[in-house]
Amino acid sequence: MATPNPASESPYGEGTRHVPWSDCLLGGDAICLDTSLGFFFINFCNIRGLRSNFQSVKHHLSSTKPNLLFLTETQLSEATDSSPFSVPSYFLYPHFRSKAGCCVYVRNDLTCSRAHALESSEFFTILLRLSSDSLTKFICAVYLSPNSSDYSKFFDYLTSKVEHILDLHPWRFQCSPQALAFLSLD
């Protein structure tokens, strides 16, 4: 397995910052964020339509080569075949819904699996289990519609999943300033 790019190789440096609209490689009115979690270079974007922005996604992945790219508001139906949205050197993990949905592109040099048992059909989430060296990391993409009114149920769901992960891997959990779950509430 190839060594993932360390955070210091990120073109944006370490930490988290909002990318100004003019700097967002995905174009449109997408809201973008980049961050590093230790050795992961991760991008997040509220894409507002994957079909209409797919060429920009392909360009972004080929030019910046993030370890993971989380997209929300993919706006594709559940029945959509994901193969037209494949990108060389990346695995696609979709959770499509017609007016919302999310997906994650994961570079294929990472050892990754989807933690389906921790996901919910009620909320737009994708939970990934990433393995590197002897550590397992869980990274979650979450989208909550701005029209949603049941925030407490949503946060109860998230809390229960964190507790479940801690029950399974209590000795491996470490909380740091770099620990980040992507939450889109726009």
pLDDT, residue 39, reads 61
Q: What is the pLDDT of residues 107-162, one digit of tens each?
A: 999 888 988 766 777 777 888 888 877 777 778 877 777 777 788 888 888 888 78
H or E element in which residue 162 lies: helix 151-168
**Maximal C-alpha separation, the chain:** 44
Q: What is the pLDDT of residues 95-109, one digit of tens each?
A: 888 888 889 999 999
Q: How far apart are CA 94 and CA 54, in angstroms?
A: 14
pLDDT, residue 169, reads 63
Sequence spans of domains, the chain: 7-184
Q: Report how far apart the first and last C-alpha atoms of the chain are (Å, whole number).
A: 37
Contacts of 38 (CB under 8 A, 6+ apart): 7, 178
Place of tokens 């109860």: 156
Q: What is the pLDDT of residues 31-77, one digit of tens each?
A: 454 554 556 788 888 898 999 999 999 999 999 999 899 998 899 99
pLDDT, residue 50, reads 95
- Report whether 106 contacts 137 (CB < 8 A): no
Q: Is the pTM of this model over 0.85?
A: no
What does the block give as tokens for 172? Answer: 């491996």
What does the block give as tokens for 27? Answer: 């174009």
Q: If you classify domain 7-184 with CATH, what class do you get?
A: alpha beta
